[in-house]
Structure 1
């Protein structure tokens, strides 16, 4: 048996685990350099000891930007088969993490199947599952009950859990004092807020934080410190509630590291483009360079049906500014549970944002595929282009929907293709648009 409980404990002891070796190989970094980053908390490798199907990934400083796909059933959409199809799509497109946000009924059967088959990291929000798992109304749930759900998820093999421990009484003072247009838009945060207000008690995840950390440490679960007071519209961004909670999260980050529990810190939300970079820098400063996990940010509030685009814009800016982990947003955000097409659109948009940011951050080998695509375009090799593309299937469908007369062009430029024209001239060929027969007919 290894003489460590968690990846962070191993790293602090100078041990390079097999998960670190896997991540180092994927990222093209030296294992010892990676170990040092895990030891100081700047990189997290969420890897529950019970998740045997996992192919470990690293999140944090100097590594590729990762993406997460949310899925799960609700009371209005209870088809687990469809959710498993979404899982398969997420894996096919290379999502590094999947969060099961199911909030209806007994969800553990689906979650166990998901953990058994998924090489991607699995995340949950125990607060979502508490009501269904415990079969109690909110006011009937005790602090001990909440911890029972955390323990159940850890034992099932969940790699990281969103736990809204920062929304304590002190953080809520700023929320009450300042007021907001959208108040609280975090589902888990709103439930905790309601529980705290109805019972008069402190947030149980804050009050019993040490007990939570002991559960997570036992199974090597990474804590993702949720931003219950994230802004739900542009007007509420960077306000006292958001920043007050972030200050609490900074302290909770250090406390987790002291227990050798790895940390992700979650961030906004909705935010104007000119605020994003400053927010990332502030988070990194207050939370001691812990990996930053962002939802969006959505850069405008008026694009329902297109929020995969508003989130990709914000996500690209955030990741280029130092964020490490993007939570995808689908076109159905704010409207309904996403279907398969929505999930695909959200994944692709998020992958584009992450990849564009990695190029900007000069992540090792990030531009290799772009250089390969340029080479394939130079050769006019369509099949190679489709192989390299993030969504080659869609690219091929577009190309073949209006096939060109000459396979070495596309239907937009046809014979006037700039690439073909330049290639011919550089090869010493004459550029001609008409055949001999066509020239004779013109005469």
Structure 2
């Protein structure tokens, strides 16, 4: 029996090699996984042309995944450096990389990235349109927009963020309901501008079936972008954001009818007390489709530390139902991240994802923590470092400050409660002088 997409296969009762790989990673019965894919509650982004891919699943019952953003721009156009960042991201166990390139030899970089990456690759074709076509935004035609999408698909991209829900009705909501930060989505703002300049409907909304044709042909997972995501905590959960989310829910059903896999993108900047409600809204309005959140950043006053503000929000979001976290680095809002920023952002996002997986009861999540706690109870520093999410940093900190006694640290020394409790409970003599 033949199939066109992972969702098509799942609906037909076919277990694909990609499903088998994901089920093994997740320690899940493949029949359960297949049923979730058929329902649209799990996606397995896997372009037919991405031969180096190690498939991952995103959605209900699975580990929370993280995404890393990188790519070349006019101000920072070093392809080799961005490829080095991508290799570091894969080394640090990021499951996805989004190429946000918008200038220069974007296709050359994209093809090299897809060829070397075992992680799933995402793009935002709208970013590439102006740079690739070399035309003013107003002059780009509908056919040219779709040509860019197809080029990305041919190059092996596994998922694409396309802001299909930014239609003229949503645009009116933006204009009628003044925001503190307007539209902060780069792709969303470009589409909004194109619509206003040409007095036309969003081509990806108007010709949505044409987009679905391409997604079905290459098995692209459609990441329905949130053009109206809040760029400040003041703008969250406002009429424009909710208007767009309702539209995305409608577009989700249309995609599923064509066997196209769908993720929904979400906020953004958001106060702590609104996060759980927003996760519930997305799952309800978008029929349980996987939710991909950009943070959320929970306060706007910490530039230089937004990997932390994002991790706080990301942990709450994922524990409340989000499935996929986009990392944020310390350089967010300030500049393109360097290698050190990439690492800080990835570790922060992984901490958030893992903390949420413990809360959600994902199989194996708590076991890792229990192993670390056992190593601490045994005062086994070598084992603690090996189990650490970032063994390199843990090992460096241990080496920088050596204790008098090897089985303690310089915080407690001979007063180490782990060491002393073990001795007392074993009936041994105790000396802390």
After TM superposition, is the score higher than 0.5?
Answer: yes
How far apart, CA to CA, are the structure 1 residues paired with 2:158 and 2:382? 38
Structure 2 equivalent of residue 185 of structure 1: 184
> Do the aligned residues in 1 keep the contact of 2:77 with 2:104 (CA within 8 Å)?
no
Please say if 1:298 is aligned against 2:285: no
Paired residue secondary structure (2:365): coil
1:93-134 C-alpha deviation (Å, 9 max, x unpaired): 100000000111220111111111111000000000001111
1:48-77 C-alpha deviation (Å, 9 max, x unpaired): 000010010000000000000000011111
Structure 1 equivalent of residue 159 of structure 2: 160
Deviates more, 1:168-177 or 1:184-193: 168-177
Superposed counterparts of 1:131-142, under 5 Å: 131-142=130-141
Structure 2 equivalent of residue 85 of structure 1: 84
Paired residue secondary structure (2:311): helix
Q: Which structure has the larger Rg?
A: 1
Deviates more, 1:77-86 or 1:148-157: 77-86
How far apart, CA to CA, are the structure 1 residues paired with 2:79 and 2:172? 40
How far apart, CA to CA, are the structure 2 residues paired with 1:85 and 1:205? 33
Superposed counterparts of 1:141-152, under 5 Å: 141-152=140-151
1:228-251 C-alpha deviation (Å, 9 max, x unpaired): 000000110000000000011000
Please say if 1:422 is aligned against 2:398: no
How far apart, CA to CA, are the structure 2 residues paired with 1:161 and 1:39? 20
Deviates more, 1:308-317 or 1:102-111: 102-111
TM-score, normalised to structure 2's length? 0.99
Structure 2 equivalent of residue 376 of structure 1: 375
Please say if 1:43 is aligned against 2:39: no
Paired residue secondary structure (2:263): strand
Structure 1 equivalent of residue 366 of structure 2: 367
Deviates more, 1:106-115 or 1:64-73: 106-115
1:293-338 C-alpha deviation (Å, 9 max, x unpaired): 0000000000000000000000000000000000000000000000
Superposed counterparts of 1:266-285, under 5 Å: 266-285=265-284
Structure 2 equivalent of residue 205 of structure 1: 204
Paired residue secondary structure (1:223): strand
Structure 2 equivalent of residue 412 of structure 1: 411
Structure 2 equivalent of residue 441 of structure 1: none
- RMSD over aligned CA atoms reads 0.7
How far apart, CA to CA, are the structure 1 residues paired with 2:137 and 2:105? 16
Point out 4+ residue stretches in structure 1 off by more than 4 angstroms.
Answer: none
> Do the aligned residues in 2 keep the contact of 1:106 with 1:132 (CA within 8 Å)?
no
How far apart, CA to CA, are the structure 2 residues paired with 1:382 and 1:118? 34
How far apart, CA to CA, are the structure 1 residues paired with 2:402 and 2:81? 34
> Do the aligned residues in 2 keep the contact of 1:332 with 1:342 (CA within 8 Å)?
yes
Structure 1 equivalent of residue 401 of structure 2: 402
Paired residue secondary structure (2:304): coil
Residue 186 (structure 1) shift:
0.2
Paired residue secondary structure (2:264): strand
How far apart, CA to CA, are the structure 2 residues paired with 1:47 and 1:183? 34
Structure 1 equivalent of residue 249 of structure 2: 250
How far apart, CA to CA, are the structure 2 residues paired with 1:139 and 1:323? 36
Give unmatched runs, 5+ long, in structure 1: 435-443
Deviates more, 1:84-93 or 1:331-340: 84-93
How far apart, CA to CA, are the structure 1 residues paired with 2:58 and 2:285? 18
Paired residue secondary structure (1:264): strand
How far apart, CA to CA, are the structure 2 residues paired with 1:135 and 1:427? 75
